[in-house]
Structure 1
């Protein structure tokens, strides 16, 4: 497993713990702003994990596709994903 995937897994595990904590905060009736701040922190970790996965994809999958003359399909995949990400 490469370094990007290891870091992405760690970020996802951390965000999983944060989400479990957020649920508990809601169940305990914690202050809404505190809950919202924790949701924002979890979203940031998910974004970080996504960027790490995309970096890994570009460095490995896309690079290999171009070396084997099939890079156009990978570029289309990236463009479609970027269009989704930019809508948010």
Structure 2
């Protein structure tokens, strides 16, 4: 993976901490809006991590596929990228 591992780890570890906090908030029957805000913050961190990983994929795997001159490999990588972008766009 070509992405910035430290940055991604930081996003994911922070999101994990927030999710643990959300579970505790639910157990303690905290205010609904406060819980939703924490869920949204966790989603934002997961989205940032996904974007960093995707950027690394483009800079690494996609570029590598086009440097290889293997048309089948290029088509495979582009199809993968297209599927992910479709999921992001929803």
Return the TM-score normalized by structure 1: 0.91
1:84 equivalent in structure 2: 87
Give, in whole Å, the separation in 2 of the partners of 1:84 and 1:58. 16
Structure 2: where are the runs of 5+ without partners?
none
In the alignment, structure 1 residue 75 sits paired with structure 2 residue 78: yes
2:58 equivalent in structure 1: 58
Structure 1: where are the runs of 5+ without partners?
none
SS in 2 for 1:63: helix
SS in 1 for 2:33: helix
Distance apart, 1:3 and its partner CA = 5.5
Give, in whole Å, the separation in 2 of the partners of 1:86 and 1:2. 23
Give, in whole Å, the separation in 1 of the partners of 2:12 and 2:30. 24
Higher relative CO (Cα under 8 Å, sequence separation at least 6) belongs to: 2
Per-residue deviation, residues 26-45 of structure 1 (Å, max 9, x unmatched):
10111000000000000000
Give, in whole Å, the separation in 1 of the partners of 2:25 and 2:17. 12
Question: Alpha carbon RMSD of aligned pairs, Å?
Answer: 1.4
Give, in whole Å, the separation in 2 of the partners of 1:57 and 1:2. 6
SS in 2 for 1:29: coil
